Chains A and B, each alone.
Chain A
Amino acid sequence: MSGRQMSILIGLVVLLAIVSNSIYVVNERERAVLLKFGEVVSTDIQPGLHFKIPVVNDVRRFESRLITLDSSPQRYLTAEKKALIVDSYVKWRVADAGRFYTATGGDEFSANSLLASRVDNGLRNKFGERTVYEVVSGERDVLMAEITKELDDIALNELGIHVLDVRVKGIDLPPEVSNAVYSRMSTEREREARDHRSRGRELAEGIEADADRQKTVIEANAYREAEQIRGEGDAIAAEIYANAYNQDPEFYSFHRSIQAYKSSFAGKDDLLVIDPESDFFRYLKNPDGK
C-alpha cells in the first residue's frame, strides 16, 4: 500500500516536472527561437502558450520591442574638411529571431556594438560627402533616410535586425571652433549695435537740423511780415501827414520848425550865443521896437 502510494506520488512529481518543462510562455514583449539540441528548428515564435519536448528542445527569448542604441559622440569631417562632433542614436528591433540568434548569440550588447560600428562608418561616409550647411540644415532628412535604408538592408541580412531609424541628435562644433564662432557672433552683434547707435545719431541730427530750419524760416517769415506791417504803418502815417500838411505847407514848415527848436534846445548844456540885435530882442533895448 505504502509502496504503491509512493510510486504514484513519484510518478506525479515526474509528470508535473515534465509538463512544466513542456510548457513555455512567450511574452508580448519578446520573440523566441526553439532549439533542438542546439539547432534552430523554429524561429519567430509568437507570444502565447507553447509546448516543447523537455531536454530535447530549448527556448531562447529575445527582446522584441524597439531598442535604442545611443552611441557616443563622434568627430567627423565634412566635405570642406570641417570637424563636427556628431551624436546619434539608432532605433532597431529584432526582426528575424533565428538570424539574430545565429549572428549575435542573442546578446544584445554584441548586437549593439556591431551596429554601432556600422552606423559610425555610415555616418562618417555620409558626412564626408557633404558640407556643414547640408548636414546641419539642407539635407538632414535625406541623409538620415539614406543611412537608415543602407543600414537596414545590411543589418537585416547579417544580423536579423530591422533598423527603423537612424537619427542625429546633435551636430556640434568642436570647442576650439565654437570659440571662433562665438567671437564672430560677438562681432556681428557689435556691428548691429553700432548701426543702431549711428542710426540714432542720424535721426537725431536730422530732427535737430529740421527744427533749426523751421526756427529760421519761422523767424524770417515773421521778420518779413513785420517789416511789411511797419512799412504799411509808415505809409499810412505819411499819407495822414501829407493830407494834413498839404493844406498849408508854409504854416507847416513854420510850425514844425518851432517844434524842432523846442526839442533841439532841451537842456542847460545847450549854450546859446545870442546877438541882442536879433528880432526876438527887439524890445529889450527899445520899448518901441524901433
Chain B
Amino acid sequence: MAWNEPGNNGRDPWGGGNRNDQGPPDLDEVVKKLQQGLNGLFGKSGGGSGGGSDSGDGPGFDFSGKVVGVFALIALIAYGALGLYKVDEQERAVVLRFGQFLETKTPGLRWNAPIIDEVNKVNVTRVRTHTSQGVMLTEDENIVDVTLAVQYVISSPQDFLLNVREPEVTLTHATDSAVRHVVGSAEMTAVISEGREALGVDVQQRLQDYLDNYVAGLRIVKVNLENSQPPSQVQPAFDDVIKAREDEQRLKNQAEAYSNGVIPESRGRAQRVLEEANAYREQVVAQAQGEADRFLKLLAEYRKAPEVTRQRLYIDAVQEVMQRSSKVMVDVDSGSNIMYLPLDRIAGQVAPSIANQNRASASSVQQSAGALTPGDIRGLTDQVIQEIRSRQTNDSQRGSIR
C-alpha cells in the first residue's frame, strides 16, 4: 500500500477513469511496473480501489503523474499500432465504423482505429471457379447430363460482404437455375453438340442478370460448358449413332474403293481391245500389202513367160502337196469292173508304213529319200565303214614307205 497515493486527483491530466486508478508507488516498484507494461496498470487499479489512505503528498505524487503519462503513451502507441494494416494489391479493405459502412480502401499501408472500425479484406482479383453438374430436361423433353464451370471474381467487395448472406451459395443456386433455364429452352442436339458455345454465353448472361438483381457483388468472367452428354442410361444408343455414322462412311468408302478398282480396270481392258483392234488392222493391211506385192512381183515375171511359169508353179505346188501327203495311186483301166478300195482301213494304217500296202492291186511310188528299208541302211553303213578302214590302212602304208 506504500505506493498508493490518495487525494491528488485534481492534478491528474488524464480522464476521471484514470484518476482513481493511480497510486504512488515506490521508486523500485515504479521501475518494475514500467517493465510490466499494461498489465501493471490494471493490477494497480485493483490495488488502488481496495487500498485506503497512506502517505501524504510529496515526491510520490510527481512519480505517479509521470507513470500514468508513460502508461497512457504506451497504451496509445499500442492502440495506434494495432490499427495499422496492409492491403495487398489483390485486395480491397471494406471499413465499417460502428457497424456503418465507411469506405473501401485501396492497396497500401492503411490505418483504422481498432474497436471503433471493423476492417474486412477481400481478394478482388482472384478468379474463383464454381463447378456445377446435373441432369436436366431439354425443350424437347429429353434428359441431358451437363457439367459446367463458372469463373467469377468479386467485383464489389462492399456488396459481397454486406448485401448477401452466403454469396457463394447464392451463386450455386443461381447457376443451377440459369443453366436449367437455358438448357430447358434448347433442344437436346444443340445442348450436346453444336450449340454448346452459345449455351455457355446464354448461361453467363442469365446468371449475371440474376446476380445483378441480387446485388451480390460478383462478376461472371466466363461460363464453360465443360461437358454435356446424354445420361449414362442412353449413352450406348448415342454411341451407336456415332458408330452408324462411321459405318455410313465406311460403306461409302468401300463402294468408292470398288469403283476405283473397277473403272480403271475396265478402261485398261478397253485400251487392250482397242490396241488389239489396231493391231489387227495393221496386221491385215500389212498382210494384204505383202500378199499383193508378192502377187504383183510374180505377175510381172509371169507376164514375161506365161506358159513356162504357169507350168513350173503348177508342178512345184503339186510336188509339194505330194511330198507332204500320203498317197494311193489307183491305176484303173477305163471301163473295168468296180474296184473296192477300203479307204477307212488305209487311212488308219497310213502312218506306220504305207509301202507294204496293196502291192497286188497298186504300186506305190515313194520319194527317194524315204525309200531305204532298215536292211538297206545296214548294208550301206557296213560298206561305208569298210571303205573308211581300207583308206586308213593305205595311208599308213604310204607313210611307212617314205
Contact = CB atoms under 8 A, between A and B. Distances in A.
Interface of A: 1-2, 5, 8-9, 12, 16, 25-30, 46-49, 63, 65-68, 70, 89, 91, 132-133, 136-137, 140-141, 164-165, 167-173, 178-179, 181-182, 185-190, 192-197, 199-201, 203-208, 210-212, 214-216, 218-219, 221-223, 225-230, 232-234, 236-238, 240-241, 243-245, 247-248, 251-252, 254-255, 258-259, 261-262, 264-276, 280, 284
Interface stretch (B34-42, B57-65, B103-111, B286-294): B286-294
Contacts, number: 340
B318 to A, nearest CB: 5
23 contacts: A25-B98, A48-B98, A48-B100, A49-B100, A65-B162, A65-B163, A91-B214, A140-B184, A164-B213, A165-B210, A167-B173, A185-B143, A189-B238, A203-B248, A204-B254, A211-B258, A212-B262, A221-B270, A226-B276, A233-B281, A259-B317, A268-B324, A269-B347
Given A25-B98, A140-B185, A171-B184, A237 B287 contact: yes
Contacts of B221: none
B177 A273 contact: no
Contacts of B248: 196-197, 199-200, 203
B230 interface: yes
Given A27-B96, A169-B177, A229-B277, A12 B17 contact: yes
B125 interface: no
B315 interface: yes
B266 interface: yes
Interface string B317-360: 11011101111111110000000010100110011000000000
A193 B143 contact: no
B27 interface: no
Interface of B: 6-7, 16-17, 20, 49, 52-53, 96, 98-101, 134-137, 139, 141-143, 161-166, 169-170, 173-174, 176-177, 180-181, 184-185, 210, 213-216, 230-231, 233-234, 236-238, 240-241, 243-245, 247-252, 254-256, 258-259, 262-263, 265-267, 269-271, 273-274, 276-278, 280-285, 287-289, 291-293, 295-296, 298-299, 302-303, 310, 313-315, 317-318, 320-322, 324-332, 341, 343, 346-347, 350-351, 365
A135 to B, nearest CB: 9
Nearest to A245: B295
B281 A204 contact: no
A1 B266 CA distance: 135
A1 B53 contact: yes
B273 A226 contact: yes
Contacts of A222: 269-271, 273-274
Nearest to A233: B281
Interface of A is mostly: helix
A267 B325 contact: yes
A41 to B, nearest CB: 20
A276 B302 contact: no
A230 B52 CA distance: 151
Contacts of A199: 248
B396 to A, nearest CB: 48
Contact of B134 (A170, A193, A258): A170
B303 to A, nearest CB: 8
A66 B164 contact: yes
Contacts of A265: 321, 324-325
Contact of B262 (A204, A211, A276): A211
Contacts of B318: 261, 280
